Amino acid sequence: MSDEQTTARALVARVRDFVRDTVIPVETEHAGIVHSPDRDPAVEVALRAELQAAARSAGLSVPQLPVDWGGRGLDHRAQADVFEAAGYSLFGPLALNIAAPDEGNMHLLLHAASDAQRERWLRPLAAGGIHSAFAMTEPPPGAGSDPRALATRAERVAGGWRIDGDKWFITGARGAGLVIVLARTAGEPGDAGGATMFLVPGDAPGLTIERDVRTLDTGLFGGHSVVRFDGVVVDEEAVLGEVDGGFAAAQVRLAPARLTHCMRWLGLAGRAHDLAVGHVTGRRAFGSAIADLGLAQQHLADNEIDLAAARAIIRETALVLDEGGDTGGRAGTASSIAKTFVAEAVGRVVDRSVQLAGGQGVSEELLLARYWREVRPFRIYDGSSETHRWSIAQRAVRAYRKGLRHDLPD
């Protein structure tokens, strides 16, 4: 084993211990809920502060960022193991400050922002002083599975831009210090180009959180909100990357953010499996430990297989990103395939775990039912399985027409 690998494994072990000793007790107490429209937002804020302080003290915060930004400069392959270990609790990624959407936003700022923008926004994000949102999705008929339908507009005004439009399912918008918004600066909804990204302060006049969408998942800080931009004015410094280059800039975030989602959810699927294994080893039916009954064995084995395959495809995709960069065809295709597989595998694992736990599996007093709700949207968020399959199929056909054979084992 190389020195690097030894160091990486030691870090993973520390994260696992931290999650077990510090995070899981808090998760249990809060029954896995971070956000709920019914809940006092102050509870969320306090919880986040407490968990992040603990992780910082332990030196485990933002490990994926370069040392200059407070992290350890982990490459994607090393992130895979660390993020999975953090994901073993719903609150683990929040504690390490590697939860969505902050983690993806930090990545985007690191790679696409100017020095000044990084100092202004990445610095406090990395330190946990603020958190952020990524505002791309719009209510129909706007940008959804097809980003080209983008309808939010940004018009040039004196000294900057004025942004108008509606966004929804914007995770973490409530309380965000920074909202990264994608708006159309050229063309019409349906056009392939003409989008620009803007860095908008969360308290910008005209930016309103209309309401929260009540969803099956409650583990993401700040929930998912409907956000209105009503004459929000920003200066030129707010443009992230190139004007009209927003779709390309979004690519920087796309593939890695998909993959870190997979890593975190894989961790949670492993936890659900462990809870189920614990249940079946401790309960009896028909005169045997449930664990020894054949139909339980089928579920247990299928879980092990799904977890191993999901871990493998994540790691191999991380190597693709590490080698070839975060954007471009191979990263896009590989991360699209990985996301589709992992989202479904995670769903299957948690569903089987619920089934193994029987009546207790459907009790919301335990974490399993909560996890089951929590992972469901992952097959829809971040590109639904259907959208990904459509695009995977199209690329396969396109590659074939160009004369490429599939079997390129790289």
Site for a copy of itself in 165-194 (CB under 8 A): 168-169, 190
264: left (phi over 0), alpha (psi -120 to 50) or beta: alpha
Please report how close the Cβ of residue 245 comes to a copy of itself at its closest, in angstroms. Answer: 22
42: left (phi over 0), alpha (psi -120 to 50) or beta: alpha
- Bridge partners of residue 235, in order along the sequence: 160
Comparison of 117 and 363: residue with beta carbon closer to a copy of itself: 363
Q: Does 206 bind a copy of itself (CB under 8 A)?
A: no
- C-alpha separations of 328 from 144, 217, 254, 354 in Å: 21, 31, 11, 39
Q: Does 377 bind a copy of itself (CB under 8 A)?
A: yes
Q: Does 274 bind a copy of itself (CB under 8 A)?
A: yes
Comparison of 137 and 199: residue with beta carbon closer to a copy of itself: 137
Please report how close the Cβ of residue 383 comes to a copy of itself at its closest, in angstroms. Answer: 11
Among positions 28-67, residues that touch a copy of itself (CB under 8 A) are none
Among positions 92-151, residues that touch a copy of itself (CB under 8 A) are 137, 140-141, 144-146, 149
- Bridge partners of residue 213, in order along the sequence: 224
Q: Is 287 exposed, middle or buried (0-12, 13-18, 19+ CB in 10 A)?
A: exposed
Among positions 345-374, residues that touch a copy of itself (CB under 8 A) are 354-355, 358-359, 361-365, 369, 372-373
Q: Which of 192, 174, 194 is nearest to 184 (CA)?
A: 194
Please report how close the Cβ of residue 370 comes to a copy of itself at its closest, in angstroms. Answer: 10
Comparison of 162 and 299: residue with beta carbon closer to a copy of itself: 299
What letter does residue 209 receive in the DSSP assignment? E
Q: Which stretch in 59-67, 96-104, 250-258, 272-280 sits in contact with a copy of itself by CB under 8 A?
A: 272-280
- C-alpha separations of 109 from 3, 44, 89, 237, 249 in Å: 30, 25, 27, 13, 10
- The single residue among 301, 325, 328, 329 that binds a copy of itself, judged by CB under 8 A, is 301
Q: Which stretch in 62-70, 102-110, 120-128, 301-309 sits in contact with a copy of itself by CB under 8 A?
A: 301-309
Size of the site for a copy of itself (CB under 8 A): 105
- The single residue among 97, 267, 326, 331 that binds a copy of itself, judged by CB under 8 A, is 267
Which pair of structure tokens corresponds to residue 21? 């000793």
Q: How far is it, in rounded angstroms, from Cα 406 to Cα 194?
A: 34
Q: Does 247 bind a copy of itself (CB under 8 A)?
A: no
∠ at Cα 84 (79, 86), nearest 5°? 95
Q: Does 17 bind a copy of itself (CB under 8 A)?
A: no
